[in-house]
Amino acid sequence: MAVERCPRCDRALSSGKAVHWSCFFRRASIPISIAVLTVLVVLSGSLLVVHFVK
């Protein structure tokens, strides 16, 4: 039986997993945070614009 491992943390993974999500989120935490913040800023800005224009 094939054993798949995360190349970052060396943990065994159940077969069929795209990536080890824990390691993915740990590594991508900064870009994800920036993306979420950007979306929030854009959304709130849009709401303000709509509010004042109306």
Partner 1 sequence: MPDPTTLDPAADKSLEAQALKAVKKPSQPASRIYAVDGGWRVQAYVWKNLFIRTHRSAMPWFIGRKNRWIRGFVWWFKDPRGWKIFKFWSYCIGVGVGLGGVSQYISATIVATAFAGLLTALLTVWTLLSLLFIGILTAGNYIYSSIYRLSYRCPFCFESMTIPVFICSNQACGTRHTRLWPSLYGVFHHKCIHEVGPVGPDGKPQLCGTKLPTLNFLGRSKLERHCPHCDMELNKTIGVAAPVHIAVAGGTNAGKTYLLVTATRDLIQNYARANGRDYTITFPSDEDRLNYEDNLTRLTPGHRLDQTLKRPNAYNLDIHAPHSALAKRFLPRASLSRLAYVYDVMGESFRTSAEMSVQKFYSYINALIFVIDPFAIPDFADKHRDEIRQLGDALSASKADIQQSYERMRELLEVSAKLKANERTNRPLAVVVTKVDALGLENVIGAPAAQKLMVDDPSICLEEDAISLLVRSFLIENGESNLVASMESRFNNIRYFSCSALGGMLGSAPETGYVSIRSVDPLVWTLGFSHGVDAISERKALADAQHRAQGKALGGLRSLRYYYWNSLRPQSLERGI
| Contacting residues toward partner 1, per CB under 8 A | 1-13, 17-20, 23-24, 26-28, 31
CA 14 remoteness from chain centre: 21
Residue closer to partner 1 (CB basis): 5 or 40? 5
Rounded Cα distance between 43 and 16, Å, is 36
Using the minimum distance from each CB to partner 1, give the nearer residue, 11 or 45.
11
* Sequence-ordered list of residues with C-beta below 8 angstroms from that of 3, at least 6 positions apart, any chain: 12
Enumerate the β-bridge partners of residue 12: 5
Residue 41 C-beta: closest distance to partner 1, Å: 22
Nearest approach in angstroms of CB 37 to partner 1 is 18
